[in-house]
Amino acid sequence: MPAGAERGERDLPRLVGDEPEVRGERLSRHLRDRQPPTARLALERPSKLIRKGDGGALHMRILASQHTRRGGARGIQVPVARLRRSMASAEHAGARISVACVGAGWVTRQRHIPALRAEDRVDVVGVVDKHPERAEALARANRLPNWGRRLDEGWLERVQAVMVGTPPLEHGPVVEAALERDLHCLCEKPLAFPASSAAGLVQAAGERGRVLAVVHNFQFSRAGARLFSLVEGGDLGAVSAVYGFQLSNPRRRLPTWYHALPGGLFLDEAPHLLYLMRRLLGRLEPRTVDGRLDGTAIRDLSATFEHDSIWASLTMSFGASVSEWQLVVVAERGVAALDVFRDVLVVLPNDGAHRARDILRSSARMVGGHIAGASSW
């Protein structure tokens, strides 16, 4: 089958702008410099891994892994656009990136291919899937010239980067195989299991000078980007608390493979609020974690995180009757609430003495902000 242009020697830059870890650490230092240390509740820090409590509750430490990129199909455009700008600013002006999509499931079909095609400096040249008939069907549906079952097929010699959209347990092996072939990788979250394996992939990418980024997309949604702009720009004043809150209804459309994940749906969905909180806190070091299991799956979880001056907590329920994901930032001049699913940011100013007019103003801002945010699409 025919393929795109010759690969040549056009190497992509090592970094996609400032990685979230870098931005988060810089923001964390900024916040610590702006406000004095605050008193914190003297909660017991869990020892190592597991401590059983009453009623079958389970106390555990969790590992927060690597983080990157945006809501819906728009989310993937951000790292690709940054690659494009970085190439143009160096010696790659006019170059195009040849990309193959790995995985022929829903996220590749509905998110990755549309977003990649929206970038005029990207050529999507084919699809790889362990089920070749699925790869062929998706390639033909999108008029792509190539498809295959493995990364060692001939047409992939002219590919520069891969977009990985396989089920999570396959991410690590696919990324490892791609890096061995000197391909740049943009991978769906989570990157790999266990965390040591993910760290090995990061090290391998650095040694080979390849880009390895993870799709932590809600950082780059319209509302998410606005939230971080307000916080990092100091518009909200000193941040005192960050609250993550997630309800997930298991009856909504979900991938068929999530039952096989360690911890169930938690392992697929938890990264979203974790990377959003990490963006604000700089790093995630669990202080306390309490959970409830349903068989081997995590059904409910509550956690707090270490920070010098910001109180941070996360609450999740994966057996809820509604699906709502919220991130609330409490600051000196106001409170910002990010509705992750609806891509809406509502900002309420400091209500002062909490008089009737202050309450009415907050109510109007809350309702009006939500309507305006939802209708602005």
* CATH number of the structural domain spanning residue 198: 3.40.50.720
238 and 329: one domain? yes
Domain count, the chain: 2
Quick one: 345 and 231 in the same domain?
yes
**Does one domain contain both 26 and 47?**
yes
Burial of 160 by CB count in 10 Å (0-12 exposed, 13-18 middle, 19+ buried)? buried
3-class secondary structure, 262: coil
pLDDT in tens, 52-91: 333 323 323 333 333 333 345 555 555 555 545 543 443 3
> 177 in a domain, yes or no?
yes
CA distance 348 to 362: 6
Specify whether the CB–CB gap between 166 and 103 falls below 8 A.
yes
Same domain, 81 and 140: yes
Tell me, yes or no, whether 132 and 190 share the same domain. Answer: yes
H or E segment to which residue 348 belongs: strand 344-349
Model pTM above 0.85: no
Statement: residue 226 has pLDDT above 60: yes
What phi, psi does 329 have (nearest 5°)? -115, 120
Question: Is the domain of 189 the same as that of 264?
Answer: no
Same-domain check for residues 186 and 319: no
pLDDT of residue 49: 27
Listed residue (74, 171, 80) closest to 123, CA to CA: 80
Of 161, 186, 218, the domain-final residue: 218
Same domain, 232 and 197: no
pLDDT tops 50 at residue 115: yes
Question: How are beta strands 161-164 and 146-148 bridged, if at all?
Answer: unpaired
Domain with residue 294: its CATH number is 3.30.360.10
Averaged pLDDT for residues 227-247: 97
Give the model's pLDDT for residue 314: 98
For residue 99, the enclosing domain spans 69-218
The residue among 165, 185, 218 that closes a domain is 218
Pairing of strands 69-70, 286-294: unpaired
Which residues, 6 or more positions from 169, have their beta carbon under 8 angstroms from its beta carbon?
193, 257, 260, 261
Q: Which of 218, 243, 268 is the last residue of a domain?
A: 218
Task: Tell me what pLDDT residue 222 has.
Answer: 93
Same structural domain, 235 and 211: no
